[in-house]
Amino acid sequence: AQKVTQAQTEISVVEKEDVTLDCVYETRDTTYYLFWYKQPPSGELVFLIRRNSFDEQNEISGRYSWNFQKSTSSFNFTITASQVVDSAVYFCALSDMDSNYQLIWGAGTKLIIKP
C-alpha cells in the first residue's frame, strides 16, 4: 500500500539557517506524482510543487529546492536562508494509480523559524 513518511514532527531553526524537510514514500506504481504543500497558521494549504516519477531533475524556485531520488524513494525539500515567514506546517503527498490519483498525505512537519 502507498505510504508517505515525514519523520520530522517539528524542526526549529534560527532565521537565515538552511533547513531540509525529509519525505520518504512507498508505492508499487511506476507512474506517480509527488507534492509539497505549505500550511501557514491561517490554515489554507498552499501548493508548492508537483513532480512526476519520470522527472528526477532537482528543482529550484528562489530559496526553495527539491531533491527527488528514486533510488531512496525520497523527495526532500530544502529552504535556503530561512525566514520567519517560512514558519508553517509542510506536507508531502503522493498520488498514484492505486489511490485513483487521490493524494496520500504525510503527517506533516512543523517548521519554526526563530528571529
Residues at the interface with other proteins (CB under 8 A): 32-33, 35, 37, 42-47, 50, 52, 91, 95, 100-103, 105-108
Which of 21/82 has CB closer to other proteins? 21
Least separation in angstroms between CB 106 and other proteins: 7
Inter-residue contact 89 to 99 (CB < 8 Å): no
Closest Cα to residue 26, out of 61, 64, 62, 75? 75
Residue type, 1: A
Least separation in angstroms between CB 97 and other proteins: 10
Pairing of strands 32-39, 64-69: unpaired
Which of 81/107 has CB closer to other proteins? 107
Least separation in angstroms between CB 90 and other proteins: 13
Report the distance separating Cα 1 and Cα 27, nearest Å.
Answer: 7
Instruction: State the alpha helices, DSSP H only, in the chain.
Output: none
Least separation in angstroms between CB 32 and other proteins: 7
Say how many CA atoms lie within 13 Å of 11 toward its Cβ: 24
Which of 4/82 has CB closer to other proteins? 4
Which of 44/85 has CB closer to other proteins? 44
